[in-house]
Structure 1
Amino acid sequence: MTIATTETSAAIAPRAPTLAEATRVWAKIGILGFGGPAGQIALMHKELVEERRWIGEQRFLHALNYCMLLPGPEAQQLAVYIGWLLHRTLGGLIAGLLFVLPGALVMLGLSTLYVLYRHVPLIDGIFFGIKAAVLAIVIEAGLRISRRALKNEAMVALAIAAFVAIYFFKLPFPLIVLGAGLIGWLGNRYRPEVFAKVGGGGAVGPDVTGIIDRMFERGEMGHVQPSRAKALRTLALWLPLWLGPVALLWLLTGAGSVWTQIGTFFSTMAVVTFGGAYAVLAYVAQAAVETYGWLAAGEMLDGLGLAETTPGPLILVLQFVGFLAGFRAPGSLPPLLAGSLGALLTLWVTFAPCFLWIFLGAPYVEALRGNKALSAALGAITAAVVGVIMNLALWFGLHGVFRQVQRVELLGLSPDLPVLASLDWRAAVLAAAAMVAMLRFKLGMIPTLVACAVAGVLLTQIAA
C-alpha cells in the first residue's frame, strides 16, 4: 500500500521542470497553437494542467481570468504568466516569445503571397471560401467560451446586455468591460449567492494541484511577491522599450506618416482592446478600413482567415493590417520591404505591452488570488466578452454574406443592417455548410478551412 501511494503521488506531483524542459514545451505550444484563443487555452490546459501538472486547475483559471481582463491576446499573456511563475522574468519572456514567433513568421510569408498573387482567380476563390469558414470559426469559439463563462442566468443577461450595448448603442468596448467588472464586484457584495461562484472560469476537469502550487506551499515563490520598487523597475524598463520606437518614428517621419500612424494606432489598441482578438476585431477593422484606408472590409476577412490558419495568437491578423498599410504607402522604400517593416512595427507595439501587463500586474493578482470580489468581477467580464464576440460574429456575417451593409437610424439606435438584395448565395451556402460541419459534426478548424477553400474555388466559377 505504501509503495502504491508513493508511486501515485509521484505521478500526480512531478518535479519542477528545468528552463530547458519548459522551453521545449513552450516551443511545442507555439507551433501547435492553432484554433484561436479557445484552442490555444485548451492546448495549454492539456499540456500544463492535465498531462504535466505544472500548475493546478484553480490557479490556471485564476490566471486566465486576469488575462481576460487585460487588453491584448489573453492566450499569449497566459503563457507569459505561467512561464513567469515557473522561471521568473526569463521564463515569461521565453514563453511569450515562443508563443508568437512561429505564427508571426508564417503570417509574414502569407501576407507577402497575398499581395503578390491575390488577384489570381485560383487564389481569389480560395479566399472566398476562407471568408465563409471564418464566420463558423468565430461562432464556435464564442460557444466554447460561453460554456465556461455563462454559469447562471445573471451571466447570460450580462452577455446579452454587452451585445446590445456594442451593436445597438455603439458603446466603447472598454466601457463595457468596466461596467461588467463593476456589476460583478457589486454583485459579489449584495448577491453573493449569484456571483460568488462565477469567477472560477469554468473548470474543465477535477480540481487538481500542480508543482507550482506545491512550490508556493514550500515558500519557493518569493519572486511573485509584489513590491513598489519592483513595479517601478518594471515600468522604467518596459515603457521605453514599448513606446520608444514609436516616439522615434514620430520625430523622424512626422505625425502624418504611415509609420507614425501604425505605431500610435496599434499602441492605443494595446491599451484599450480588452477581451482578446475576437472581442476587438470589429473595432480595429472599422478604423483600419474607414479611418485610415489601409485595406478594404473584405481584405480584413481575408486577413482573419490567414490568421486562423497559422499557429499563435489570432491577434496576428493585426500584423497583416500593418503589412498592407506599409506595402501601400512605401514612400521611398520597396513595397515589400515597407510592408515587412509595417508588420514588424505592428508586432512590436502589439506584444511588447503584453509583457508589461504581466510582469507589472501578476504579483498583485497572485496576492489577491483568494479575493472573492475580484474573482466575481473577472467572471462577469468574461461573461460580457461572450456578448462582444457574438457582435464580431454578426459583423463578419453581414460583411461576408452580403455585398452591401448600411447603418440605419432606428428609434434612436444605429444598427448595421444588410441590404437584402445584395445577398451572395454562394457565401451564404458556404457559411451554413461550415457551421454545420463544425457545430454538428465537430469537424476541426483546419479541415473546415481546407474544405471551404476548395469549395470556394469551385463556386467562384459559377455566376453570382
Structure 2
Amino acid sequence: MSKPFTEPETSTTFSQRLGELAKLFLKLGMLGFGGPQAHIAMENDEVVVRRHWLTPEQFAEGLAVCEMLPGPASTQMGIYIGYVRAGQIGAVVAGLCFIAPAFLIVVALSWAYFRFQRVPQLEAIFLGISPVVTAIILAFCWKLGKKAIRDWKRAAIAIAVFGVTLFTSLSVLIQFVLAGLVGLYWFRPSGRGQFQGWWLPPLPLLVANLPAETLTLGSFWGLERINDFFWPLTLFFLKVGSFIFGGGLVIIPLLEFEVVEQLHWLTRTEFINGVAIGQLSPGPVVLTAAFVGYKVAGVLGALTAAVAIFAPSFAFIMLAAPLLLRIRQNLWIRAFLQGVTPAVLGAIAAAAIPLAQAALDQPTGVASLAAGLIGLGAGVALIRYKVPTWQLVPLGAIAGWAVGTAL
C-alpha cells in the first residue's frame, strides 16, 4: 500500500497539492458522465498519464482494494488518490470535490421533480425514462450474471435470494450476510485454516414507526422535519453505505425494500424516477440517496443522506488504508464475498420486477406499449451496442416526450 504524503516536495507545497486535488476532482465531478468505469478511466488518465501523481502499479493496487470494499469504487478511488497525494486531508478534499457537483445537480433535479411532478410534460418525459432505468438495471444483472455465476453453487445463492426478496419481507442486508456465511462454507480455503483479519458485523437494522400512508413532501429546506428524521436517515444510509457490494446499482434493492415497502417514504413510481435522476447526474448512482433525503426532509435531509451513505467509503480508505491490501488477500474474506456477489445479483433482479411493473403501468394501453418498446430498445442498446447509460436516459426522456405529445 502506498504511503500517504507526509513531507512537502520541493516542487509543490502541501497547500498547492490540496488546491490541485480540489481543482481536478471538481472537474471530474462535473464532467464524469458514463458510470463508474468511465470515472475510473478518467482518474487514471489524469493522475497516472497526465500528472504522474501515481505509478500504474499504485493505481492498480488502489483500484483492487476499492473494488473489494463496499461502496462506489470510483468515489473511493478518488479518496484513495487524495490520500496518497496529500494524506487524510487530501482524501477528504478529493472525495468531497468529486461528490459535490453531482449532489447539487441531484438536489436541483429533485426540487424540480417534486415541484412539477404533475405537469403533463414532465409525466411524459418520465414515461420514457422509467423503462430505460429498468433496462439499465436488467442489463446490469445480465452482465453481472455472466461474471458471477460460474457454478451451480453461485447460481443456487442467486436464485435463493431472488425468491426470498421477491416473496418475503426479509431484509436484503440480512440476506447478504447469510449468503456471505454460505460462501464461507462453500468457498472456504482448502485445508485447516483460521479466521484472520477483521470481521465487521452488520449495523443494526433501523426500527421506525411505519406511517399508514406514504410520506408527504416537506418544505424545500426541511427545517420542520430534520429533527425527527435526522437519526433515521443517518442510521439507515450508514447501513446502506456499508453494504453496497458489487457496484452502485446494489443500492436499488437495498433502498426499494426499505424506503418503499417498509418506511413508506417514497412511492414505487417516485423511487424509480429518483433512480433515473441519480443516473442523470455525473456522479455515482448512490446519490439517489440525496433524492430520498430531499423527499423526507428537504435539502437538509438530502445532505444528511448523502453524508451518511458516503461516510463508510471515507472511513474505509482513510482509517484502514494501511491494512486493506492484507485484508484483501485474506482467503476467508474472499470466500465471504464470493457468497455475497451472487446474492447481489438475485436481489437486484428481484427488485427490478416491481420497478418494471411500475414503469409499464401507464394510464392507457398505448402508453404502456410505448413504455415497453422504449425499455426493450434500451436493453438492446445496452447489451448489444454498449451504448453508455448517460446517453440512454436523455434519449428515453425525448422518446417519452414524443409519445406523450402524440397521445
Q: Structure 2-normalised TM-score? A: 0.74
Q: 1:75 to 1:166 in 2, by over 3 A?
A: farther
Cα separation, 1, equivalents of 2:191 and 2:372: 44
The equivalent residue for 2:277 is 306
Cα separation, 1, equivalents of 2:256 and 2:154: 28
Cα separation, 2, equivalents of 1:123 and 1:455: 12
The equivalent residue for 1:122 is 121
Cα separation, 1, equivalents of 2:151 and 2:44: 24
Cα separation, 1, equivalents of 2:348 and 2:154: 15
The answer to whether the 8 A contact 2:260-2:268 is kept is: yes
1:445 deviates by 1.8
Q: 1:267 to 1:148 in 2, by over 3 A?
A: same
The equivalent residue for 1:4 is none
The equivalent residue for 2:351 is 392
The equivalent residue for 1:322 is 293
The equivalent residue for 1:442 is 386
The equivalent residue for 2:68 is 66
Alignment of 1:359 onto 2:359: no
Report how many residues are paired.
356
Cα separation, 1, equivalents of 2:173 and 2:164: 12
More divergent stretch after superposition (264-273 vs 88-97):
264-273
The equivalent residue for 2:399 is 455
The equivalent residue for 2:161 is 162
- SS of the residue aligned with 1:188? coil
Cα separation, 1, equivalents of 2:176 and 2:190: 20
The equivalent residue for 1:249 is none
Q: 1:167 to 1:291 in 2, by over 3 A?
A: closer
Cα separation, 1, equivalents of 2:149 and 2:109: 36
Cα separation, 2, equivalents of 1:447 and 1:83: 29
1:173 deviates by 2.2
- SS of the residue aligned with 1:460? helix
Q: 1:157 to 1:34 in 2, by over 3 A?
A: farther
The equivalent residue for 1:176 is 175
1:139 deviates by 2.3
The equivalent residue for 1:210 is none
The equivalent residue for 2:371 is 427
The equivalent residue for 1:377 is 336
Equivalent position to 1:342, from 286, 296, 301 = 301
1:271 deviates by 1.9
Q: 1:294 to 1:133 in 2, by over 3 A?
A: same
The answer to whether the 8 A contact 1:267-1:350 is kept is: no
Between the aligned residues of both structures, percent identity stands at: 28
1:229-269 deviations in whole A, cap 9, x for unaligned? xxxxxxxxxxxxxxxxxxxxxxxxxxx95542243234223
1:65-110 deviations in whole A, cap 9, x for unaligned? 432xx3x544423432343244321221122112210101111221
Q: 1:55 to 1:372 in 2, by over 3 A?
A: farther
The equivalent residue for 2:228 is 260
- SS of the residue aligned with 1:171? coil
1:462 deviates by 5.1
The equivalent residue for 1:188 is 188
AA of the residue aligned to 2:231: G
1:432 deviates by 1.0
Equivalent position to 1:401, from 356, 360, 367 = 360
Cα separation, 2, equivalents of 1:381 and 1:78: 22
Cα separation, 1, equivalents of 2:340 and 2:114: 38
Q: 1:257 to 1:102 in 2, by over 3 A?
A: closer
Cα separation, 2, equivalents of 1:21 and 1:358: 20
Alignment of 1:135 onto 2:130: no
The answer to whether the 8 A contact 2:256-2:351 is kept is: no
Cα separation, 1, equivalents of 2:349 and 2:30: 28
Cα separation, 1, equivalents of 2:42 and 2:150: 22
AA of the residue aligned to 1:142: C
More divergent stretch after superposition (302-311 vs 384-393):
384-393
The equivalent residue for 1:287 is 258
The equivalent residue for 1:412 is none
1:20-74 deviations in whole A, cap 9, x for unaligned? 554444334322333444554555466567886645375245313432xx3x544
The equivalent residue for 2:215 is none
Q: 1:461 to 1:108 in 2, by over 3 A?
A: same
Cα separation, 2, equivalents of 1:382 and 1:28: 32
Cα separation, 1, equivalents of 2:256 and 2:360: 17
Cα separation, 1, equivalents of 2:127 and 2:107: 20
Task: Structure 2: state its 5+ residue gaps.
Answer: 1-10, 198-223
AA of the residue aligned to 2:293: G
Q: 1:324 to 1:135 in 2, by over 3 A?
A: same
The answer to whether the 8 A contact 1:80-1:95 is kept is: yes
AA of the residue aligned to 1:296: T
Q: 1:296 to 1:177 in 2, by over 3 A?
A: closer
AA of the residue aligned to 1:454: I
Cα separation, 2, equivalents of 1:371 and 1:285: 32
- SS of the residue aligned with 1:304? helix
